[in-house]
Amino acid sequence: MNAAAPLIEVSHLRKFFGSPAQPVRAVDDVSFAIYPGETLGLVGESGSGKSTIGRALLRLIDSSAGGVRYRGEELGAASPRRMRFLRSKLQMIFQDPYASLNPKMRVRDILGEALRAHALVRGKQATGDRVAELLRLVGLQPEHAARFPHEFSGGQRQRIGIARALAVQPEFIVADEPLSALDVSIQAQVVNLLCDLRDRLSLTMLFISHDLDVVEYLCHRVVVLYLGRVMEVAATEDLFARPLHPYTQALLAASPSPNPHDRTVHVPLKGDIPSPMHPPSGCVFRTRCPHAIEACAGERPQPREMGGGRLKACIRDDIPEWAPP
């Protein structure tokens, strides 16, 4: 376990949408910590609540219950003025680089807007110098500052989005599926850029993704999410070598191999993820779990320590060891 104090602490976080009579349980009692300099992966199928957690961490949406602490400070209790200051410490890289940039603004204004909002530079010259520095940092040229977003490729736009997040010198970044809108040929370049920036700038990151290969490459630890609940938490190497939870095992078994010579047939998870409006009783994964027993319907498992900092939310200790399909 990391001996340092967590930079981010998420405690019993809940986010429900809809009416109190019929709530949509997007996030239901999620807890984890992120340590300084760490990249924590958050994985799970679509509809598992990953992006909702990312937005709740930055208070882009209000949580229904639970809390998020940054350096021990409860963000939910922060005043608007205090939260304005904290926004410079907590930033997001959005999924869609096409939608996240104002098409009517030049790049110098997109980046300069963040600098001016937090009073990080004064004067036109200082702003221009900082914009040029940011563009070089993400692998673009200073002359790109005069262009509009539509003049760039998808990968270049995402680099601009990364530069905008870095403009205010944050400590913590939520990267919400930052590769999913990019061509496969460009994704590796952006992943390597994120790795380089994380190490160079000592960034702490929550990396939200459905791409397990990227998570294995980029992240130090992984939280596995299913229907708004934590199924497993482990160091990346341990999780991919020996997943303990049946859902993690199923995700890895369904993941396509990056090896072009691998002829293994990877079968998707059976069935669809249930509605968060009507989640199964007990363990929410039981309706798709090949190891479910009668007791799984009556008992809601909480993540419990399995040794070495690993957590597993499953009542069974006799799940067979995972092996590739």
Q: One digit per residue, pLDDT tens: the chain, 325 residues?
A: 466 899 999 999 999 999 988 999 999 999 999 999 999 999 999 989 999 999 999 999 999 999 999 999 999 999 999 998 999 999 999 988 888 899 999 999 999 988 888 878 888 898 999 999 999 999 999 999 999 999 999 999 999 999 999 999 999 999 999 998 888 889 999 999 999 999 999 999 999 999 999 999 999 999 999 999 999 999 999 999 999 999 999 999 887 655 444 434 444 577 888 999 999 999 999 999 999 999 999 999 999 999 989 999 999 999 887 765 5
Distances (CA, A) of 227 to 29, 154, 230, 276: 11, 31, 9, 6
pLDDT at 259: 47
pLDDT at 185: 85
User: For the chain, what is the radius of gyration of the CA atoms?
Assistant: 21
Position 249: which residue type? Q
> Partners of 93 in the beta sheet?
175
Q: What is the largest CA-CA distance in the chain?
A: 69
pLDDT at 265: 41
pLDDT at 271: 80
219-256 per-position pLDDT tens digit: 999 999 999 999 999 999 999 999 999 999 999 988 76
Q: How many CB atoms lie within 10 A of CB 74?
A: 12
Q: To which H or E segment does residue 231 belong?
A: strand 229-235
Distances (CA, A) of 134 to 40, 90, 160, 260: 25, 17, 9, 37
Cβ-proximal residues to 37 (8 Å cutoff; 6+ apart), any chain: 198, 202, 203, 204
CA 113 to chain centre: 25
Residue 150 DSSP code: G
The structure tokens 């001016």 sit at 116
The structure tokens 């070089």 sit at 136
What one-character-per-residue DSSP string does 257-306 give? Answer: PS-TT--PPPPPPSS-PPPTTSPPSSSTTGGG-TT--GGGGT--PPPEEE
Cα gap 201→46, rounded to integer Å = 31
pLDDT at 24: 95
pLDDT at 256: 62
User: Exposed, middle or buried by CB within 10 Å (0-12, 13-18, 19+), for 20?
Assistant: exposed
* Residue 52 phi, psi (nearest 5): -60, -40
pLDDT at 304: 95
User: Exposed, middle or buried by CB within 10 Å (0-12, 13-18, 19+), for 258?
Assistant: exposed
Assign 3-class secondary structure to 84-109: HHHCCCEEEECCCCCCCCCCCCCHHH
Sheet holding 23-34, edge to edge: 23-34, 8-18, 65-70, 73-74
> Partners of 234 in the beta sheet?
222
pLDDT at 264: 42
